[in-house]
Amino acid sequence: MGISVSYEEKVGSSSFQIAEGGASGTRIFTVAWGDVVTFAQELYGRYQTWPSGAYVSPNQFPYLPYLYCSDVQVEGFGIQSESSNAEGLYIVYEWAKVTARYTPMIGVDPEDPEVVEEENISVSGELETLPAEQYEWTAGSIPVKADILPVKVETTSSFSVTRLHVSSLPNNVISLVVGKINQNAWRSYSAGYALFIGADANRSITTDGAEDWEVTYNFLIKSHSWNHAYRDSSGNFEEVQTKNGNDTIYETDTFAALGV
């Protein structure tokens, strides 16, 4: 069942109906009031603390295993005390009556986690300008004039991570990280190779007013660090810095605040 808290199922609580239009079931439990939120979440399953929490399958109905918990109702009884918060007074109960309803999950495989993250990669070429004065024409060894700038194609990839079911848009975090490169090895990319260039977000609102965001974080990937530039004397990409302060071109970040 996958339930981590203690509970008691009422005798005769399990009931189900089978009709031409389908089947449904009901179970009734008693659980300590302090455990009721965790109990309800584990009955309902899915990602309850995304992105940090693990996936939990919805609870199955014991007599008809193709039915899964789709709705949980809670009623408190046995008044323990009264408390208050910013919203006002409320009653703290000793116990909770939990009614769980079970229905078929059409179009969803409840045994498999739903998609909550997607990755996309697009590989392309970018023109890299080379120092003209270091080149000459092969025929006759004639120097290339300064107004003719040789270029070569450098591999550059577009990489994105899409997070589904984000409860709130981390707009301030995104703004602070834009234009920074990965401080350490990140996903499959060496330190300095991934540049965060921004995010695209779409919001949906349910009938009860809850927000659900889909956020795509966009990165550009080079085959070397973004703090490196082509050096003609060595023929390699090497790190550059400012003469005053020894600052690199790009600041670094762990991307941890983005949750990716």
Residues whose CB falls within 8 Å of the CB of residue 139, separated by 6 or more in sequence, listed in order: none
Expressed as residue numbers, the domain containing 42 is 8-103
pLDDT for res 1: 46
Q: Which of 103, 125, 146 is the last residue of a domain?
A: 103
> In total, how many domains does the chain have?
2
Higher pLDDT, 156 or 146: 156
Whether residue 121 sits in one domain with residue 45: no
Decide if 108 is inside a domain: no
Same domain, 229 and 170: yes
Is residue 235 in a domain? yes
Q: What is the pLDDT of residues 184-230, one digit of tens each?
A: 999 889 999 999 998 888 888 766 666 778 888 999 999 899 988 87
pTM (predicted TM-score): 0.52
Query: Using an 8 Å Cβ cutoff, are 258 and 197 in contact?
Result: no
In a domain, 145, yes or no: yes
Cα–Cα dist 148/126, whole Å = 18
Residue 127 has pLDDT above 60, yes or no: yes
What backbone torsions phi and psi does residue 187 show, to the nearest 5 degrees? Answer: 55, -120
Above 50 in pLDDT, residue 36? yes
**Is 110 among the domain residues?**
no
Domain for residue 155, yes or no? yes
The predicted pLDDT at position 225 comes to 92
Q: Are 13 and 28 a contacting pair, CB within 8 Å? A: yes
Residues 222 and 177 in one domain: yes
Based on the domain organization, do 158 and 210 belong to the same domain?
Answer: yes
| Any domain includes 123 | yes
Q: Which amino acid is present at 190? A: S
Average pLDDT score over the chain: 81
**Has residue 1 been placed in a domain?**
no
User: What pLDDT, on a 0 to 100 scale, did the predictor assign at position 181?
Assistant: 94
Single residue among 49, 69, 103 that ends a domain in this structure: 103
Q: pLDDT, tens digit, for every residue of 225-240?
A: 998 887 777 778 888 8
250 lies in some domain? yes
Whether residues 12 and 141 fall in one domain: no
